[in-house]
Structure 1
Amino acid sequence: MGINDRQLHRFCYRVSSTDKLSQVAQKIIDTIEQPITLQDTMVCIGSSIGISIYPEDGIDSAELLKNSDIAMYSAKQNGRNIYQYFEPSMTEAAAKRLVLEANLKQAVKQKQFINHYQPIVDAHCGKAVGVEMLMRWPTGQGMISPMEFIPLAEDLNLIISMTEIALKTALQDLIVWRGFRNDFYLSINISASHFSKGELVTFITSILKEFDLPTSAIKLEVTESAFITEPERAIDKMNQLKALGIKLSLDDFGTGYSSLSYLRLLPLDVIKIDRSFISNIGENNADEAIIEATISLAQKLGMSCVAEGAETKEQIDFLVSRNCHYIQGYFYSKPLPCKQIISLLKENKLEYISARESL
């Protein structure tokens, strides 16, 4: 049995049936999932378990460990916090992963990644106020989904260098955009690795100085994973960034375990409401209630909200009527290359303005 999230531990069990082994695996997952308190902060972690069985999946320890590793990575890809028995078909998937790893490393060396940018629109005035930077990987077979290469880049410790290269290009683009709209900003996703391994504060300070941009020109987006493993270190770095005048956003709010407990500790300025809630506006009363509660909570904490994934007028009208007027989604624009953002700013046309009054 293999368990992993950054570190690997292996256990050997002699059991009478696979049902017993499943019970052991689930008990491990349930135990690890239990919240713990570190320095007055509630922390939740998860695990992924891969299982191989002797002699069906291997006749020696090397083969059994290899196959449990393959099953474990399959568990991670299928959502984490689950266990997975090895299946021969997984070997093909593991081989594909090895090819993707090699291609990814080569792509980083050759700087094959490009930036696209999705506008964030103020629905009160119908104008884009900023963009979110999104990395794209073009290949001869088409674009590879970020859902595939971003988690892999994090596993291979490549995400820091990839983000730094992308950010330098993005800031060059931002200088051009701010010539049309001088308060236009760039929002950047920061991974957990930036907090645990990288010199994030030093890098951000130096790159803004290099491009002669104020701290108000960028916003940093973080997810819960950035501060779950080493919360004190992450919070310290966030406070340093906040002291510099950089605004911080909590991304994918409501989809993790510990968001509420961290809101009182983190120096946040913006909460981004996840698209999974936005897509159900008009269809799911529970999701609408969560959106309303999130907006109300943000206001009481002195934060603003950005709604991700809005695709219809009805969704935008609902959000604006609840005092969330910063909108990011395909209704206004898909992610665009730099030249199309320039065209958008040159045209300076009004986008849809919601006439809904706040409730």
Structure 2
Amino acid sequence: MPSPNRRTTVSAPAVDAAALSRAVHDGQLVAWYQPIIDLSTGSAVGVEALARWPRPEGMIAPAEFIPLAEASDLVIELDLAIIRHALADLRRWQRTRPGFELSINLSGRHLDSPTGVTELVAMVEAASVAPGTICVELTETTRPDAADQGAPALEALRAAGMSVWLDDFGAGFYNLRDLIRLPVDGIKIDREFTAQLEHPRAAPLIGALTTAAHQMGLRVTVEGVETTAQADVVARLGCDLGQGYLWSRPLPVDELEGWLSAAPAASE
């Protein structure tokens, strides 16, 4: 497995919503990717697409512009712009890596919008990629106005062949009750739990969540894995997938493709 990329970026001056809107409409935001690893084999089975905003004066930190987008329906346009780029890359990757998965972030505002989900389904169909390789991660920072009302939209995504995941599980809006009432296929355990694995209660909690998820037929990803020791623990607890700096930081597409060329594929 290649060593993790240690590239750093410099935060540019803070921006406002108007500048972000122009950037989205002008195509300034791009997709970077973080590999997702099968913990049982160590192979790269997919990537998560993440929004990045490069500017001449430096890289705008996601923490500076994502909250701006989520304050309005601008986040829908931002999500779809990143997804459009990522689907084009996925189509190319699947020519040599059949079954390679793409995780995409979707704000709860898509579920509130009458066209948010239909636009995504149409985009995936037009991209000529395998829908079953698209994992839709529902971000917790902005959930739909009523989670139960969002269930039909999630069913529409699943009917189109995509899987639905609850992102940052355990550290935000989504909770155990949502696993019962929402039609989902997996959970991504928040990095806060991984960071506290040295605490005697952290591993039992992750293990319990994983066992419960598996009994419901769900898959489990653990994010924020930074050390081999953490990877060994979550694998022993039964978690399916891992993501974190142990393997790689988020990378621009050219660097990601170099990383993939040296990483074992899922079939190896």
TM over 0.5: yes
- Given that residues 226 and 234 in structure 1 are in contact (C-alpha distance below 8 angstroms), is that contact kept between their aligned partners in structure 2? no
Q: Please show how residues 1-359 of structure 1 align to structure 2 within 5 Å.
A: 100-224=16-140, 227=143, 229-256=145-172, 258-282=174-198, 284-349=199-264
Counterparts of 2:72 and 2:173, CA distance in 1: 25
What's the C-alpha RMSD, in Å, of the aligned pairs? 2.0
Q: Give the TM-score normalised by structure 1.
A: 0.67
- Given that residues 132 and 186 in structure 1 are in contact (C-alpha distance below 8 angstroms), is that contact kept between their aligned partners in structure 2? yes
- Given that residues 253 and 272 in structure 1 are in contact (C-alpha distance below 8 angstroms), is that contact kept between their aligned partners in structure 2? yes
- Given that residues 227 and 234 in structure 1 are in contact (C-alpha distance below 8 angstroms), is that contact kept between their aligned partners in structure 2? no
Q: What secondary structure is seen at the aligned counterpart in 1 of 2:50?
A: strand
Counterparts of 1:244 and 1:178, CA distance in 2: 19
Which runs of 5 or more structure 2 residues have no equivalent in the other structure?
1-12
Partner AA of 1:262 in structure 2? D
Distance 1:319 1:313, change over 3 A: same
Partner AA of 2:58 in structure 1? G
Q: Give the TM-score normalised by structure 2.
A: 0.88
Q: Any idea what the Cα deviations from partners look like across 1:178-217, whole Å, max 9, x if unmatched?
A: 1221110110110011111251331122112211122112
Distance 1:141 1:204, change over 3 A: same
- How far off its partner does 1:350 sit? 7.7
Counterparts of 1:228 and 1:259, CA distance in 2: 14
Higher relative contact order (CA 8 A, sep 6+): 2
Question: Percent identity at matched positions?
Answer: 36
Q: Between 333-342 and 223-232, report the one with greater CA deviation.
A: 223-232
Partner AA of 2:65 in structure 1? F
- How far off its partner does 1:228 sit? 5.2
Counterparts of 1:350 and 1:205, CA distance in 2: 27
Counterparts of 2:195 and 2:162, CA distance in 1: 30
**Number of aligned residue pairs:** 254
Q: What secondary structure is seen at the aligned counterpart in 1 of 2:16?
A: helix
- How far off its partner does 1:338 sit? 1.3
Q: What secondary structure is seen at the aligned counterpart in 1 of 2:36?
A: strand
Which runs of 5 or more structure 1 residues have no equivalent in the other structure?
1-95, 352-359
- Given that residues 195 and 226 in structure 1 are in contact (C-alpha distance below 8 angstroms), is that contact kept between their aligned partners in structure 2? no
